[in-house]
A = this chain, B = another copy of it.
């Protein structure tokens, strides 16, 4: 069992979400090594008792449970399989948990390479955003070896509430893709409904009062449509990250010989907005496709 006595956690990727997640692990009593490029960036966590590591190699040498949540699949590949990487420099019996939203095929590759070195790799992307991370209420979609999963589960429970082993390596990422696929087309429907309401001269807030309660109801309709109506395009989830996720899903679908017209449409609409400089806006800014 991985206890606070026999476990040192390494944490790579202390962005908005990672910072909260590493904080929860510290609060639970685990020693946490944090890798950041410059020490100042880790200050908040170091003040809480984390130990700074100057390289990912150092993390690989010091920690036996390593959690990563970085930006793009290329970052994941570098962090795990690069020269300074966690698998490249890792020790036997280390648990590797990648919580980045990344490609299922890369997750499979990392799992294979890790196994060769006697390490246990999991893909475990999350949903729930900044707030879910802060409140330790993330949904965590896990892919990896069933017989090892129960070892890491208690650690995941420190960061989330809805934690499900979805299958073997890559299954966590595939599940996250299902999540993003469902969101993508729904964002079009939600935005088109608001745009139509305004164009028809309706009061969109009154329209939402009716339609959120029935068969058109969705998280996005209840949470993002009101922001659209109020002209609030601040990012809960940034367009550039959504495009990354949709691109991964479309590549995987293509690899499986699967055509996804709704997802393709969503990506093309968002791509257009990104080309117009809206990459850093929230996904609800799809509204600007109609109203620049």
A20 within 8 A of B: no
Task: State the Cβ distance, A269 to closest chain B Cβ, in Å.
Answer: 7
Complex contact B269–A261 (CB within 8 A): yes
Complex contact B127–A203 (CB within 8 A): no
Complex contact B127–A175 (CB within 8 A): no
Interface residues of A in 224-258 (CB under 8 A from B): 237, 249, 252-253, 256, 258
The docked-state distance in angstroms from the alpha carbon of A68 to that of B266 is 38
Residues of chain B with a CB closer than 8 A to A197's CB: 174-175, 178
* Given A195-B258, A209-B164, A215 contacting B265 (CB threshold 8 A): no
The docked-state distance in angstroms from the alpha carbon of A252 to that of B178 is 33
Interface residues of A in 104-163 (CB under 8 A from B): 104, 127-129, 132, 139, 141, 162
Residues of A within 8 A of B (CB): 104, 127-129, 132, 139, 141, 162, 164, 166-167, 171, 174-175, 177-186, 188-190, 192-197, 199-203, 206-207, 209-211, 213-221, 223, 237, 249, 252-253, 256, 258-263, 265, 269, 290
Known: A175-B197, A178-B197, A188-B262. 13 other contacts (CB 8 A): A139-B214, A164-B206, A166-B210, A178-B207, A179-B210, A180-B216, A182-B218, A186-B190, A186-B216, A189-B189, A195-B258, A216-B219, A218-B221
Residues of chain B with a CB closer than 8 A to A178's CB: 193-194, 196-197, 200, 202, 207, 211, 216
Residues of chain B with a CB closer than 8 A to A167's CB: 201-203
Residues of chain B with a CB closer than 8 A to A193's CB: 178-179, 181-182
Q: Which residue of B lies closest to A173 (CB)?
A: B200
The docked-state distance in angstroms from the alpha carbon of A219 to that of B217 is 5
Residues of chain B with a CB closer than 8 A to A164's CB: 206, 209-210
* Residue in B201, B210, B265 whose beta carbon sits within 8 Å of that of A139 in the complex: B210
The docked-state distance in angstroms from the alpha carbon of A237 to that of B214 is 13
Residues of chain B with a CB closer than 8 A to A203's CB: 166-167
The docked-state distance in angstroms from the alpha carbon of A93 to that of B129 is 56
Complex contact A183–B219 (CB within 8 A): no
* Residue in B174, B194, B211, B290 whose beta carbon sits within 8 Å of that of A179 in the complex: B211
Residues of chain B with a CB closer than 8 A to A210's CB: 127, 139, 141, 162, 164, 166, 175, 179
